[in-house]
Amino acid sequence: MYWVVWSFDVKPEQVRTFERLYGPQGDWIQLFQRAPGFAGTELRRERDRAGHYLTIDRWHTRAAYQRFKETFRTEYEMLDARCTRLTDSERKVGDFETTTGEL
């Protein structure tokens, strides 16, 4: 399994829109679901820090994620540009893989 984790600080007036776009029925999920190898996305809100969120995108393999990025580059960039206005900051936390011995 392969995970891509992002951190966001969302503008207070944009929280509802952000949660809609990044949530379980949102535009990002709809785009990701078009790609083979997509395994799901989690949206997490930090309890003690208003407006702070993580997204955890799950892919079956790194190769599947790379193929998605190549195939859907234009759509990804357009959606990302639309979402930039929602946040004060966006940071890629990292790309993570299953460790040896994990199921």
Is 101 part of any domain?
A: no
What percentage of the chain reaches a pLDDT higher than 70? 97
84 within some domain: yes
User: Quick one: pLDDT band at residue 103, thresholds 50, 70, 90?
Assistant: low
The number of folded domains in the chain is 1
**CA–CA distances in Å: residue 73 to residues 11, 35, 65:** 26, 12, 11
Global pTM reads 0.91
Does 6 fall in a domain?
Answer: yes
For residue 27, the domain's CATH number is: 3.30.70.100
In whole angstroms, give the CA distance from residue 73 to residue 54. 22
Measured CA to CA, the distance from residue 88 to residue 51 in angstroms comes to 10
Q: Tell me the per-residue pLDDT of 32-75, one tens digit each, with 9 for 90 and over.
A: 999 999 999 999 999 999 999 999 999 999 999 999 999 999 99
| Assigned domain for 102 exists | no
Q: Would residue 103 count as lying in a domain?
A: no
Strands 2-10 and 38-45: unpaired
CA distance 23 to 30: 10
Q: Domain of 23?
A: 2-96
Provide the sign of the torsion angle of the four alpha carbons 72, 74, 80, 82, taken in this order: negative
